[in-house]
Structures are given as C-alpha cells and as structure tokens.
C-alpha cells in the first residue's frame, strides 16, 4: 500500500537494517537491562548460557512485538514527523513483511524460552507479547487517554520474566518488580509529554495532555509518583531484600516525590522553561536505573554473605 508512492522500493528487498529498526533497538536496551536485573536479583543460580538464552528470548519477544507495532501503526506513523521515516511509512519495506517478521520473531522467542528455560517463563513471555501487540497497540492505545499506563504494563514484563527464568515460579518479588515499572512509566512519560509537543493528536491517538489538559496530566504525574514510592520500598518491607536496597529505595523515592510535587501542583506561566518537568523526566531515568542496580547489588552482597536477608539485617 505504502509502496505505491515508491514503486522502485517496492521491487527491492528491504535492507536488513530496516528489519533491525522494526525491533526498536533503543527501547530494547531498557528491556535487556531490566530483564538482566530480574535475572540477577532472583534467588538461585542459572547457567550463563541459559541466562544469556533467556535474555535473548526476552529481547526477541520485545523485538517481535515491536515489529507488530510498526505493522499495525504504519498509517499513523506516516502522519507523524517523529515516525514518518520508519521503514513502513517511508515505503522501504512491504507491510506484510513487517507483520510476518514480527509473528516469526515472537513465535521463535517463545519456543526458545520454553525449550531452553521453561514453559512458565515462555508463557509469561507469550502473555507479554500479546499484551503489547494486541491489548496495547491494537485495542487500548487508540481508545483511552490512560494508554501510557497500559503501555507501561508491557515494559514491566521483562524483569518478571527474567526472575521466573531463574526461579521457575511467580512470587511476590517479581510481581513487585512488575509493579515498579508499571507505576514508574506514567510519571516518566507524562513529565516528558508536558514539555515536548507530540503530534499524536493529529493522528487521533488520545494522549492525556491533549484529551484531559495539562492540569489533569500534572495531577496524574503526582498521584502515580505517590503510588510508586511505597511499591518501590515494598521489596524491602516484605523481607525480599536487605537494608541496602531498602535505603536506596527510600532515598530515591523521597527525591522522586520531592521533584514530582512542584510538577503536580504548579501551572505553566507564559514562556515557561519547564525546568521542573525536565528535571523530573531526567531523574526518572536515573531512578529506575539506580533502583534496579541496587536490587542486583543487594543480591550480590547477600550471595557473598556480606549482608543478611530481610528488613532487620
């Protein structure tokens, strides 16, 4: 369809780099990082080859569902400046090729996880892929201004799957890791949305700042941050980590809340430099990185007998 505008490209096989672009490599770096953290923070050990395979399967699943996202949203992407140069809207690739690549990569990732690691991890991965590609991309993203919250769920799966790959069971701790990313995504993204104008509205995607206004978005940033703080500290409270993670989580969450309060309560004035929003967005990235790094550090210290388990250690 999109190749009609570019008949020469239609005759050409797409470049392998375009297939790589379909997998959203930049998003994948965060997926890989959080999946590795889930894998390393889980109690127990996994052979390095199997650990690598688990991370590879999670990455392939993320890449496959990202390709399906490209396929489904090709028409929307053509209407937005940020995405117009992607392989499908620019006509460098046939739309069906992206769909087939996404389905193939997703299916292979689940089979690889099942055969090499275990079928609970594979089932969780399959749910994550369907959640992102179908529930989020096809169903709820174009229908609700809470789409960022729902999309956050997709990004929250990797540490849970990494954890399950090691332990073979779903307990409170991996669910908390899921919840941390789930509740972190809205303040992270909406802080960005407050100072960067996107053209989602142009293509009919109901983003919160456009649909409900800036004031409501600011309130949402604050509320989700207030919910996130106790969830981030919960792994320590339930005795899943030691005071090392606990103290890092308390300090980071206090800082996050401290930065979110002015963003949540203030109003834009004239030529506003939006300094508070920019600082909050930047800090949110460090926050997640440091929180998960602390989780891994906690496990490494515990495994080496340097700290005891639980909140009293």
Partner 1 sequence: MTPEEEKEFKRRRKSRNLVVGGTLLFFAVLFYAITVVRMGD
Span of 46-54, 168-176, 268-276, 290-298 interacting with partner 1 by CB under 8 A: 46-54
Which range touches partner 1 (CB under 8 A), out of 5-13, 170-178, 185-193, 199-207?
5-13
How far apart (Å, rounded) are the C-alpha atoms in residues 98 and 42? 35
Select the residue interacting with partner 1 from 2, 23, 53, 109 (CB under 8 A): 53
Residue 312 within binding range of partner 1, rule CB under 8 A: no
When binding is defined by CB under 8 A, the residue of 27, 103, 116, 226 that contacts partner 1 is 116
Instruction: Give the nearest distance from C-beta 157 to partner 1 in angstroms.
Output: 23
Q: Let me know: does 204 contact 147? Beta carbons within 8 Å.
A: no
* Contact (Cβ atoms closer than 8 angstroms) between residue 182 and residue 176: no
| Of the residues 4, 11, 269, 273, which one makes contact with partner 1 according to CB under 8 A | 11
Among 26, 49, 267, 271, binds partner 1 (CB under 8 A): 49
Q: Is 273 in the site for partner 1 (CB under 8 A)?
A: no
| Window 56 to 115, contacts with partner 1 (CB under 8 A) | 56, 115
Listed residue (28, 95, 32) closest to 65, CA to CA = 28
Cα 91 to Cα 283: distance, rounded to the nearest angstrom: 37
Q: Which positions from 15 through 34 interact with partner 1, judged by CB under 8 A?
A: 15-16
The greatest distance separating any two alpha carbons of the chain, rounded to the nearest whole angstrom, comes to 68
Cβ neighbours, 10 Å, residue 75 = 13
Q: Among 63, 55, 65, which residue's Cα sits nearest to residue 33?
A: 55
Closest approach, Cβ 12 to partner 1, in A, equals 6
* Alpha-carbon gap, residue 40 to 294, rounded angstroms: 11
Q: Report which secondary-structure segment, H or E, holds 262.
A: helix 243-265
Q: Which is nearer to partner 1, 49 or 312 (CB)?
A: 49
| Residue numbers at the binding site for partner 1 (CB under 8 A) | 8, 11-16, 47, 49-50, 53, 56, 115-116
């Amino acid at each position: 369809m999109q190749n009609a505008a570019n008949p020469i490209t239609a005759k050409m096989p797409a470049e392998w780099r375009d297939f790589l672009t379909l997998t959203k490599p930049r998003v994948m770096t965060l997926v890989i990082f959080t999946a590795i953290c889930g894998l390393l923070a889980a109690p127990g050990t996994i052979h390095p080859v199997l650990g690598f395979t688990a991370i590879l399967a999670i990455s392939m699943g993320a890449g496959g569902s990202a390709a399906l996202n490209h396929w489904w949203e090709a028409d929307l992407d053509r209407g937005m400046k940020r995405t117009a140069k992607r392989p499908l809207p620019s006509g460098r690739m046939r739309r069906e090729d992206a769909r087939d690549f996404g389905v193939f990569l997703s299916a292979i990732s689940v089979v690889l996880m099942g055969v090499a690691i275990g079928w609970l991890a594979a089932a969780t991965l399959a749910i994550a892929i369907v959640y992102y590609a179908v529930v989020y991309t096809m169903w709820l993203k174009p229908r609700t201004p809470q789409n960022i919250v729902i999309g956050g769920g997709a990004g929250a799966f990797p540490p849970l799957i990494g954890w399950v790959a090691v332990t073979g069971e779903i307990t409170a701790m991996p669910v908390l890791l899921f919840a941390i990313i789930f509740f972190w995504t809205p303040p992270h993204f909406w802080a960005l949305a407050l100072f960067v104008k996107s053209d989602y509205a142009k293509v009919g995607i109901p983003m919160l700042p456009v649909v409900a206004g800036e004031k409501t978005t600011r309130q949402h940033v604050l509320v989700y941050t207030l919910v996130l703080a106790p969830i981030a500290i919960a792994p320590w409270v339930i005795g899943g980590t030691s005071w090392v993670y606990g103290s890092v989580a308390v300090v980071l969450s206090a800082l996050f809340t401290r930065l979110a309060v002015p963003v949540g309560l203030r109003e834009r004035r004239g030529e506003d430099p939006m300094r508070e929003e920019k600082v909050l967005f930047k800090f949110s990235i460090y926050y997640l990185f440091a929180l998960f790094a602390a989780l891994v550090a906690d496990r490494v210290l515990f495994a080496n007998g340097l700290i005891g388990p639980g909140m009293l250690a």
